[in-house]
Structure 1
Amino acid sequence: MEPTLFSGESLLVNTFIYKFVRPVKGDIIAFQNSEKQYIIKRVAASSGDIIELQHNNLYINNEYEIGGYINDKNKQIFLQKNRFSPLIVPNGKVFVLGDNRSCSIDSRKVGFISMSNVIGRVVLPPSKHVY
């Protein structure tokens, strides 16, 4: 999740929020993978959203989408190595991407993340908020 988060940093996780609302694009979530490891990634799309990567552009619900947390180098590597046709995020799942997308193991490799594996939303200290 560099440059937003670095290995070894302490985080707070709101474990109750997703009992009341669903994750939205931009949320940073904590979840467990199939090996029961704790993973931190950013929600790119949630249930019902359409994601597509074509012609070096990422689209969420047919809108061009590249977040400000991706630097130009990572953006180019991310776009050159990945391409997929439109996918609809299934009910009860999210599509996540790491901020360091050139070397992130995220939904592009492991698929959609089930909400039953989501622990909660990461609460960043004020100095770490990305707008």
Structure 2
Amino acid sequence: MFKRKKHINGMYEKPFWLRFSWSILQAVLIVAVFSFIVREFMFTNYIVYGQSMMPTIRDGERIIVNKIGYDFMEPERFDLIIFHADEESDYIKRIIGLPGDDLYYESDTLYVNGEPVEEEFLEESRTENGSEHFTDDFQLEDLTDEQTVPDGHVFVLGDNRQNSIDSRQIGYVPMEEIVGRANLAFWPPESIRFIR
């Protein structure tokens, strides 16, 4: 004796386990493709190591980086960006100088194209630091041999100015090395906040 196979519109019906497995595989593939697209082109997360951005971002915090449109948009002064510092390391720093800017620090004040610019995000750092001068005086030309930030590059500094490896040591950051803008700290949970 043998079982007859079921017919549906003249075709054999596939066994349940095969249909179920195919449905699971399709769902996994859709999730994997969606995750790849989101991570590659929209958002990604990073763990911050070090103290160069304290107190804005602390060592060990996890942050969300927005990649949407950053390839096509012009970066803005004071954006917090992630960029490829070398083949193995990504850094998070704040954009201080944009292409064409002539900038310098004098008496703990940032001057861009001859005009003083407020850095309100440094108030907490200055208070915690307690020293009279938080950012040492410098002129762009003394650090880079150029008077202005070149096209296609930005000049970046860490918020913890006295404990940061940034454009003062590594030079300008090419825009094509920028991964995206840091938007949100999400771990640890008690520190969830938008970052600016």
Pairwise CA distance, 1:67? 1.1
* CA displacement 1:36-94 (0-9 Å, x = unmatched): 30100000011112212245532112221341222333671422xx4225531111100
Match of 1:101 in 2: 161
Asked if structure 1 preserves the Cα contact closer than 8 Å seen for 2:183 and 2:194, the reply is no
Q: CA RMSD in A?
A: 2.1
* Whole-angstrom distance in 2 between the partners of 1:63 and 1:123: 28
Say if 1:66 and 1:16 are closer, same or farther in 2 by CA, change over 3 A: same
SS at match of 2:78: coil
Whether 1:76 aligns to 2:133 is yes
Query: Identical aligned pairs, as a percentage?
Result: 34
Matches within 5 A, 1:8-19: 8-19=60-71
Q: TM-score, normalised by structure 2?
A: 0.58
Gaps of 5+ in 1: none
Q: TM-score, normalised by structure 1?
A: 0.84
104-113 vs 50-59, greater mean Cα deviation: 50-59
Paired position in structure 1 for 2:57: 5
Partner of residue 91 from structure 2, selected from 39, 50, 54: 39
Describe the shift of the 1:105–1:11 C-alpha distance in structure 2 as closer, same or farther (beyond 3 A). Answer: same
Give the Cα separation in 1 of the matches to 2:69 and 2:132.
Answer: 30
Structure having the larger proportion of residues in strand: 1
Which has the greater radius of gyration?
Answer: 2
| Distance verdict in 2 for CA 1:20–1:109, change over 3 Å | same
Identify which of 66, 70, 80 aligns with 1:28: 80
Please tell me the residue identity of whatever aligns with 1:83. F
**Secondary structure in structure 1 of the residue aligned to 2:96:** strand
Higher helix share: 2
